Structure 1
Amino acid sequence: MSNNEERQLDLKDIRSEIDVIDKELVDLFEKRMKLCRDVAEFKFKTGKAVLDRERENEKLATLTSLAKDDFSKHGIEELFTQIMSMSRKYQYRLLASKGLNDTLEFNFVDRLWKDDVKVAYQGIPGAYSHEALRSYFGEYVEEYNVPTWRKAMEDIRDGRADYAVLPIENSQAGAVGDVYDLLMEFENYIVKYVDIKINHALLGVKGANLDEVKTVYSHPQAIMQSREFLEKYDWQEVAQSNTAVAAKKVSELNDKSKVAIASIKNADIYGLEVLAEHINTSDVNTTRFIILSRSKICKKDANKILISFEVAHESGSLYGALSHIIYNDVNMTKIESRPIPNKKWQYRFFVEIEGKVDSPGVVNALRGLNAETINMRILGNY
């Protein structure tokens, strides 16, 4: 027998021993989970919380103290951290099967709005927010504009508006951080989203030409989205609250050296000329706008949920939170983070998942997240 054949035989024997040990581990794991069922029954009867962090930390300390070296110590800590996490998820599922579910208090409706609603949007006619409003609500609802996103949120909260339209994300520039912050400050809920294709144009007063331009006005994101075009020119960039406001300002200034970046329809609205079309860098540039309500409502065919939460500032805490989504076979479609006010270098996470707030997998995932994260909120099912 050659040395190579002997080595292969040795490896086969080693793998056979590993297979025996792995089978024993599976048997022990299943035995442990059966005991977890008994634990869940006790917690169901007594109202005791599933997560007992002090008990878990004590058990990890005991188990790692049995290790013979540092490698084993770290491995045992990671192994049993995952086993205890799986045990908790199993207990959450068992408790849910007993009917012990947190009420989410969302009302499912066939239609989100009636013809007599009032809808607020930030900006002025011609703004992309206004286009998003018309895209969803049509032209025959009562609509009005407000100067800021905050004012739109206040008007929903105070009952002056039934709905508001705000941008939340652009496919090129990313998340609109200030809107995410406002979602945490106000108890308004996302009920729908609308995607609007962005097509920026360069607009000037009658008779203007590119050679005379010295200043360009627009929203900072529109300027960013048109960066490749603007790099050809040495123009001063002046930020405006939105693109339509920029177009209106250029019209009022009536100065050939000043131009605006806005949608092409603003040329007709404010009597401007189109100096250049399709100046945004990306041909697929799209902004997602959310429709917000003060009521916890969602359509019966809603299939996305946005949640927010914080986690302890320690290793593995985010993974532990997201594992509830994985365990319950819920698909996560995106994650964003925002700094937490007054907590240096700590962040709040916004996670979008697929599903409805009353489906079993989602309910179990949200139950685990609510128990094991900080300040978890459901921001809408849409």
Structure 2
Amino acid sequence: MDNKTLDLLEIRDQIDTIDKEIVELFEKRMQLSADVAEYKISNNKEVLDPKREKEKLMTLEHYASNSFNRVGVYELFRQMMAMSRKLQYRILAEHGKAGNISFRKVSSLPMQKAKVVFQGVEGAYSFTAMHSFFGESIENYNVETWRDAMEAIKNGDADYAVLPIENSTAGIVADIYDLLVEYHHSIVGEQIIQVDHALMALKNSTLEDIKTVYSHPQALSQCKKFLEEHPEWKAEKYLNTAMAAKKVKEDGDLTQAAIASPYAAQCFGLQILKPHVFSSQQNSTRFIIVSKEEIYQEEAGKISVCFEIPHESGSLYNTLSHFIYNDLNMTKIESRPIPEKKWEYRFFVDFEGNLSDSGVKNALYGISREVNNLRILGNY
């Protein structure tokens, strides 16, 4: 073994010794943080004091001997302070100081005399999702737009609405995310439907006759590869896949076709010119069930929230780390621009858990103290 190897081993031994000391000091610091939490509980003080933390970080970074280490010290202690806050939030929650969640737990969704609204017409994928979730006998009616469905819930004309929120091929339905913010309704369930798009037209029409293809923008996006094989066709956006099929039937034009489900072709007496025109064999759409009531079922296992964060470095990480520290599995994150705030974004997060769980309560309380406008969108 040469001298260089010996030197390296000695250096590593010294690093191990220092690391052990750092861990011991870290644990001492966290115990003091726990003492701070007890003091704040007794004196009704907030956990986060942004001004003090900023001043403390600026002081600590100047203890470092060079610019590289100053950045490192700043980041190290910023994370340490974030950990300290998470411990304090947990202690506050254990003392019943985390506030109350407005959602009410139920054994099952109220179904007696329930009425469901869906966007589109019979034969739409939302119609299929509705029957898959509620059963064939549920009282229902249709509206023209997603906003109309949200208004129906708001006005008490329906108890539940069925809305598409995400497709495995085309991604999120952005308008639904925006409507969830605008209307203070709650997600109480979800239903995943496998999407099987077909090209359909009048009984006497052929592929050679087609000039215009109508469908919902999401469906057109999902079938982009197929449509690109026919550059002579004009793709036209329509409110709903089944409504596009209905239009083709009512217009009686041999040059028109629609992309919709095979069930829609059956409903409106159209022939399928080309089956399975979707781009992926795994193409599925996730629908959410929305209610005006803030309720969640005992066995609910997924929570959706949205929030806004300060436009500064580390804000998103510090927010999401609350899930890590409470051993919660985050399954999805999306962002949408905030119209009234230029270049600022609202984040939507799905994670596993139930609003009755202590870890969920701790995480939501901690997040609520450090973000703007946290909203629980639902537990389902």
Aligned-partner SS, 2:47: coil
Other-structure match for 1:271:
269
Shift of 1:302: 0.3
Aligned to 1:375: 373
* 2:41 paired residue number: 44
Comparing 106-115 with 239-248, greater Cα deviation is found at 106-115
Query: What is the deviation of 1:256?
Result: 1.0
Distance of 2:319 and 2:171 partners within structure 1: 24
Are residue 203 (structure 1) and residue 239 (structure 2) matched?
A: no
Give the one of 306, 309, 316 matched to 1:318.
Answer: 316
How far off its partner does 1:101 sit? 2.3
In the TM superposition, what is the alpha-carbon distance from 1:27 to its structure 2 partner? 1.2
Two-structure CA RMSD over aligned residues (Å): 0.9
In the TM superposition, residue 99 of structure 1 has moved relative to its aligned partner by 2.0
Larger mean CA deviation between 282-291 and 103-112 belongs to 103-112
Which letter maps to 1:74? Answer: V
- 1:116 aligns with one of 86, 91, 113: 113
SS in 1 for 2:204: coil
Q: Which residue among 57, 60, 67 is the counterpart of 1:60?
A: 57
From 196, 216, 223, the counterpart of 1:226: 223
Runs of 4+ in 1 over 3 A off after TM superposition: none
- CA shift for structure 1 position 180: 0.2
1:107 to 104, 107, 114: 104
Pairwise mapping of residues 285-364 of structure 1 onto structure 2 (< 5 A)?
285-364=283-362
- Counterpart CA distance in 2 for 1:108 and 1:212 is 56
Matched, 1:87 2:113: no
Long gaps (5+) in structure 2: none
1:231 Cα offset (Å):
1.3
Provide the secondary structure at the position in 1 that maps to 2:369.
helix
- Residue in structure 1 matched with residue 25 of structure 2 by the alignment: 28
Equivalent position amino acid for 1:6 in 2: N
Q: Which structure 1 segments of 5+ residues have no match?
A: none
The one-character-per-residue Cα deviations of 1:205-242 (angstroms, maximum 9, x if unpaired) are 01110011111111111111111111121101111100
Cα deviation, residue 115, structure 1 = 3.5
- The Cα of 1:96 is off from its aligned counterpart by 1.4
Q: Secondary structure at the match of 1:121?
A: strand
**1:102 Cα deviation from its structure 2 partner:** 1.6
Contact 1:305 1:352 in 2 (8 A): yes
**Residues of 1 paired with 2:229 and 2:59: CA distance?**
66
- Alpha-carbon contact 1:217-1:239 (below 8 Å) kept: yes
**Paired letter, 1:18:** I
Distance in 2, Cα, partners of 1:364 & 1:155: 35
Amino acid at match of 1:346: E
**What residue in structure 2 maps to residue 253 of structure 1?**
251
Q: What's the TM-score, normalizing by structure 1?
A: 0.98
Contact persistence 1:115–1:140 (CA under 8 A): no
Deviations 1:89-131 (A, max 9, x none): 0111111121222211222212113231010001111111111
Contact 1:217 1:246 in 2 (8 A): yes
The CA distance in 1 between the partners of 2:111 and 2:63, in whole Å, is: 66
User: Separation in 2 of the partners of 1:81 and 1:328?
Assistant: 19
TM-fit CA distance, 1:173: 0.4
Which residue does 1:239 correspond to in 2? Answer: 237
Q: Percent identity?
A: 54
CA–CA separation in structure 1 for the residues paired with 2:199 and 2:28 = 69
Letter in 2 for 1:348: R
One-letter identity of the residue aligned with 2:166 = E
Equivalent pairs, count: 379
Alignment TM-score, normalising by the size of structure 2 = 0.98
